[in-house]
Amino acid sequence: VLTALALDGLPEVAAGDDLAALVVAALPAGEALRDGDALVVAHKVVSKAEGRTRALADIEPGAQARELAAAQGKDPRQVQAVLDETHELLRAERNVLICVTHHGLVCANAGVDASNAAPGSETLVLLPADPDASARGLRARLRELTGAAPAVVIADSFGRAWRHGQVDVAIGAAGLQPLDDWRGRHDAAGRELHATWIAVADQLASAADLARGGKDAGRPVVLVRGLERHVTPDDGPGARALVRPAQEDLFR
């Protein structure tokens, strides 16, 4: 059985906070982390703890940002923040900027997000600079605090080509096998398998998001049990392994 429990009671997170300690404090009474557990953390609290935010008022938009903002009906300072996080702009249409981030992630607005920043302050929340490193750091600190080393996944909600709506995906991971590779293996009846390379970390992020109970629930951390087979003692390749290199991608 797979279970996913969203933790209540995590406080508003600020730069410099010990996020791992806040997570441990938010565990239900009597509940302790175990080695085979997985913790899925919405990237926003990670970014806020790491100070990966920008005050809108401090941003000076350049010519490209002003031009894009005018064409797309956006705030030029916000567009400048997006461009600063962007390695390549894939599309600028229909009031959406689809970007390849410096990490290689393909997503709207390079993951720059005005929601859930501190109220009234007009602050933008960026993606962590190195989400796999963030996941490793969280895991190491959780191990210090509890003795257990759960898998840690850092998640964000991404739109997709071809399908409506957003799903949560893994942008950072530690201690989790991100892809389960069945290529060349066979099913129970000896036939070659159709789905052979399973994006475990992305499916885990999506499962956790379902457990949150809605985007206004303010529950960024979800404890998932039942995936012991994918949790690894070493930190592993991280969510970077899920990024398809541009030269292998048929749809850019």
Q: d(Cα 190, Cα 200) in Å, to the nearest integer? A: 23
Report 227-246 residues binding its own copies (CB under 8 A): 227, 229, 241-244
List the interface residues with its own copies, window 144-173 (CB under 8 A).
157, 160-169
- For residues 70 and 215, which CB has a smaller minimum distance to its own copies in the complex? 215
CA distance 52 to 130: 11
Give the binding range for its own copies (CB under 8 A) out of 64-72, 74-82, 132-140, 196-204. 196-204
> Site residues for its own copies, window 110-139 (CB under 8 A)?
113-117, 119
CA–CA distance, 115 with 127 (Å, rounded to integer): 13
Looking at beta carbons only, is 63 or 195 nearer to its own copies? 195
Q: Are 197 and 178 in contact (CB under 8 A)?
A: no
Rule CB under 8 A: choose which of 202, 221, 235, 236 binds its own copies: 202
User: Does the footprint of its own copies cover residue 193 (CB under 8 A)?
Assistant: yes
CA of 183: how far to CAs of 11, 39, 229, in Å?
Answer: 43, 28, 18
The nearer residue to its own copies, 144 or 210, going by C-beta atoms, is: 210
Q: Which one of 204, 220, 236, 238 is in contact with its own copies (CB under 8 A)?
A: 204
Q: Of 156 and 235, which CB lies nearer to its own copies in the complex structure?
A: 156
State both tokens at 140. Answer: 């190491």
85 Cβ contact partners less than 8 Å away, ≥ 6 residues apart: 99, 101, 102, 110, 111, 112, 126, 127
> Please, which residue, 83 or 242, has the CB nearer to its own copies?
242
Of 200, 221, 235, 238, the residue at the interface with its own copies (CB under 8 A) is 200
**Looking only at residues 3 through 42 of this chain, which bind its own copies when binding is defined by CB under 8 A?**
3-5
Q: How far is CA 232 from the centre of its chain?
A: 19
- Written as six digits, the tokens of 251 are 């749809």
Rounded distance between C-alpha atoms, residue 104 and residue 93, angstroms: 20
Q: Closest separation between CB of residue 170 and its own copies, Å? A: 10
Which residues in the 172-191 window bind its own copies by CB under 8 A?
178-180, 182, 185-191
Q: How far apart are CA 23 and CA 37, in angstroms?
A: 13
Site size toward its own copies (CB under 8 A) is: 73
**At its nearest, how many Å lie between its own copies and the CB of residue 230?**
8
Token pair recorded at residue 23: 């997570």
- For 229, residues 6+ apart whose C-beta sits below 8 A from its C-beta are none
